[in-house]
Structure 1
Amino acid sequence: MIPTFIRAYETSAAVAGYRIVKFSDAGSSNKIAQADSKTAASLGVSDAMGADTGGMCDVHRAGLVSVELGGTVTAGAPLTSDADGKAIAAVAAAGTTLRIIGFADEPGVAGDVVDALLSPALLHQA
């Protein structure tokens, strides 16, 4: 077992397991939902159980964790969220800034659950 930092958050919508999550209304609460874009305020990855709407969801905030892929990635690729909270390779277009959740620790394709090193950051392309 590789230690991680895990914190429980109340959900504002159902969250599936191994999905990237975001603050759903950062201005008024710290409730979470599945991330839905490359620019979402992503904070971590849900555990295997996920949670129903209004439930408590354990979220990995740091460490080496499992995440479901929404596309093909290579080991070492920076990861961001697709529309379903699945991890995809982050590729910033000119003049854009993406939120990344971390880096793939192994290659995989859509539907795979792979390990990723969480390291939230911004990826900007001038």
Structure 2
Amino acid sequence: MIPLLTKPYEASTAIAPFRIVAFSDAASGAKVAQATLATQPLVGTTGKVPTAAGEMADITRVGIGGVQLGGTVIAGDRLTSDANGCAIKATIAGQHIIGTAEAPGVAGDIIDYLRAGGVHSGN
């Protein structure tokens, strides 16, 4: 992992290590929670330390971060979030992506990914 920019955000709920997060208070942009939908804007990923509600979580915003997988991916796959904040392959147009897989893996693995947010075009 080579995060170039991490930013602290307050966790509104407990967040597990290496999980994708989304804004839980989009009006202020100050709090995050584990992502639960592929269609919500994704902020970044947590590191190896779990975060309790009310604590500050360091979120990888730019660079290469680590993420736990919720399914099988190959290197180069665009990644989105499953219901548990784990990365899965984006397959449907309109899904928000966190970046691209730097390595293959299966559910439960922690892999590096290149942070490059956006919306999947369906291709």
**TM, length-normalised to structure 1:** 0.92
Where do 1:29-48 residues align within 5 Å? 29-48=29-48
What's the offset of the Cα at 1:117?
0.3
Q: Give the superposed CA RMSD.
A: 1.5
1:103 corresponds to which residue? 100
Structure 1 residue ranges (4+ consecutive) displaced by more than 4 angstroms after TM superposition: none
For residues 12-47 of structure 1, give each alpha carbon's deviation from its aligned partner in whole angstroms, at most 9, with x where no partner exists. 100111000000120244200000010122110001
Give the count of matched residue pairs. 123
What's the offset of the Cα at 1:125?
3.7
Name the CA distance, whole Å, in 1 between partners of 2:4 and 2:55. 21
Q: Is the 8 A contact 1:39 1:97 kept in 2?
A: yes
Q: Is the 8 A contact 1:4 1:65 kept in 2?
A: no
Identity percentage of aligned residues:
46
Where do 1:14-33 residues align within 5 Å? 14-33=14-33
Structure 2 stretches lacking a partner, 5+ long: none
Note closer, same or farther for the CA distance 1:3–1:27 as it changes in structure 2 (3 Å cut). closer
Structure 1 stretches lacking a partner, 5+ long: none
Deviates more, 1:14-23 or 1:3-12: 3-12
